Amino acid sequence: MPDSQLCLEALSALSGCNVEATSGASLLTPQDFVNIVALKEFYKQEGFKELEYPSVGTLSLQDPDEQDLYSSPQALTEGPGPEPSPRTTVKINLQDFFHPQYNYDFTNIKDGSTTHLRGNEPYIRPCGWNRVALRVTKKYDDGDVWLGTGKDAWPVSYNGHNMDGSLGIILTHGGSPSDEPSFLDAAATSLVTEGTRGRGAYSTPDIKMAEKYCKKFKSKVDGKTYKVVLQNRINPEKRVKCQRDNIWVVYIPEGHTEVQTRATVQESIRPYGLLLMQA
């Protein structure tokens, strides 16, 4: 397993919180982390600046390391903007949060033409990445079938920082003609109504796509820069495949409350691995 402090830094980079170790009870579960990652990107896409999350409080959606792509440029007459919100500190118990028995280092593995399946769907393994397993067995009321390899297992998806907002253009007009084939508008019309077009939590079965949109951070442990992605399983009954077969979305209907939105994500996407790669 990679250095535990490095893993905490990775979780901090993904969530926007200061994640620290504790010998007591964890404030957040692995499910909370995938909820926060998905919800932050969804609410940024909707134009919000903050996210309220149970047991944590207010989380800023502003990333001081990146330009805010979801708001208009500040007018010259407005003066300096508000100070960045302080990062919330959350504590997790490493023994309760991680599951070293299922760690797997894909760093030097190449699958080539070898195919793998999860839930009877292609599984593109995260070759080149080091996977730190999250403790998610026996945590859900419906058992662990979702995490298996059989036909009733959930397919694998990946997501990370900035996936939802960046991929929102897939179901809307806009983008470079070379990047957005003309059939995408027709696909959007057939998949969703005008009122819900593009609203949702995005993920991908393709680790290369996830890497393109992943979060990077410089570690204080060794001074190196790392990429980080969450490896998940996605409920096939809640997911819609977009016209481009490497984009999946869990739609969030207009009018959903914060509680309903969080429940939609929670019943649709479950994490099981924290993926790290040196940039």
**String of DSSP letters for 137-163:** TT-STT-SGGGSSSTTSPPEEEE-TTH
Q: What's the mean pLDDT in 110-135?
A: 95
Give the largest CA-CA distance in the chain: 60
* CA–CA distance, 170 with 152 (Å, rounded to integer): 29
* CA–CA distance, 119 with 151 (Å, rounded to integer): 4
- The conformation of residue 224, written as its DSSP 8-state character, comes to -
Q: What's the mean pLDDT in 98-111?
A: 96
* DSSP H/E element including 219: none
Q: What is residue 183's predicted lDDT score, i.e. its pLDDT?
A: 42
Q: What is residue 91's predicted lDDT score, i.e. its pLDDT?
A: 95
Residue with the bigger pLDDT between 107 and 254: it is 107
Q: Domain boundaries in the chain?
A: 4-69+83-278
pLDDT higher than 80, residue 161: no
Q: Which residue has the tokens 């959606």?
A: 61
Beta strands (DSSP E) in the chain are 18-21, 50-53, 57-60, 89-92, 104-105, 117-118, 121-122, 130-133, 156-159, 200-203, 215-218, 225-234, 240-241, 248-251, 269-278
Residue with the bigger pLDDT between 4 and 165: it is 4
* CA–CA distance, 200 with 251 (Å, rounded to integer): 4
